[in-house]
Amino acid sequence: LGWVRVFPHVLTASMANFLFGYHIGVMNGPIEDIARELGFQGNPFLQGLVVSIFIVGAFFGSLGSSALVDYLGCKRTLQIDSIPLILGAFISAQAHSLDEMLLGRFLVGIGIGVNTVLVPIYISEVAPTKYRGTLGTLCQIGTCLGIIAALSLGIPSESDPHWVANNALCSMCAWFFHCCWNAIRR
């Protein structure tokens, strides 16, 4: 019964990995439509940059995460970290130019970078020793489920404007993540 008490904490933390997986896959299906709408169709470099720039943001987010967690603690840092996830996904969904899309994806990456460092730390802090390994696997399960969800939604939208809705969904999921952190007591 020891894992039941911490399961809401672990599940909430693992939602961050779901967002990571979702952002890995959300641009892959509709990138051609995005490129056509934002004016960089036929440029494979820019298409690749839009898909992958969030990894550059993740690099910077992961570098800054240790200072944040030392100063604020894991839970508070994860609460604050939802801000670039919400804003970045919203900017991506509302993008009318390549620059706006790149900014949104970069901001998302900052949030993802912080999450990928903090979530395993947080889970190891709250999980009972006996269940630490089992509960720790939810990080990777969350990432895989996020990729599956993004591809399931993104592939059908390869030829229509649902990429906007898919990015808006990212913002709503990040908002839900933020609300869950605020609801959980430790």
Confidence check: pLDDT of 186 > 60: no
Confidence check: pLDDT of 1 > 90: no
pLDDT band of 88, cuts 50, 70, 90: very high
Structure tokens given for 64: 């800054």
- Whether 167 and 26 have beta carbons less than 8 Å apart is answered as yes
pLDDT confidence of residue 45: 97
- Whether 53 and 105 have beta carbons less than 8 Å apart is answered as yes
Using the Cα atoms of residue 171, residue 172, residue 174 and residue 175 in order, give the sign of their dihedral. Answer: positive
pLDDT confidence of residue 159: 59
Q: Which of 79, 85, 47, 103 is nearest to 170 (CA)?
A: 85
pLDDT band of 6, cuts 50, 70, 90: confident
Structure tokens given for 112: 């993802």
pLDDT confidence of residue 42: 92
pLDDT band of 185, cuts 50, 70, 90: low
Structure tokens given for 100: 């706006």
Give mean pLDDT, residues 3-17. Answer: 87
pLDDT confidence of residue 94: 93
- Whether 30 and 158 have beta carbons less than 8 Å apart is answered as yes
State the CATH class of domain 2-183: mainly alpha
Q: Which of 116, 109, 91 is nearest to 38 (CA)?
A: 91
Domain ranges of the chain: 2-183
Give kind and range of the element (H or E) at residue 107: helix 98-126
pLDDT confidence of residue 183: 78
% of the chain exceeding 90 in pLDDT: 49
Please name the residues in contact with 55: beta carbons below 8 A apart, sequence gap of 6 or more.
109
Give mean pLDDT, residues 94-115. Answer: 96
Confidence check: pLDDT of 160 > 70: no
Give mean pLDDT, residues 24-53. Answer: 91
- Average pLDDT of the chain to the nearest whole number: 88
pLDDT confidence of residue 55: 94
Give mean pLDDT, residues 12-34. Answer: 89
Q: Which of 178, 75, 175 is nearest to 118 (CA)?
A: 75
Give mean pLDDT, residues 4-9. Answer: 86
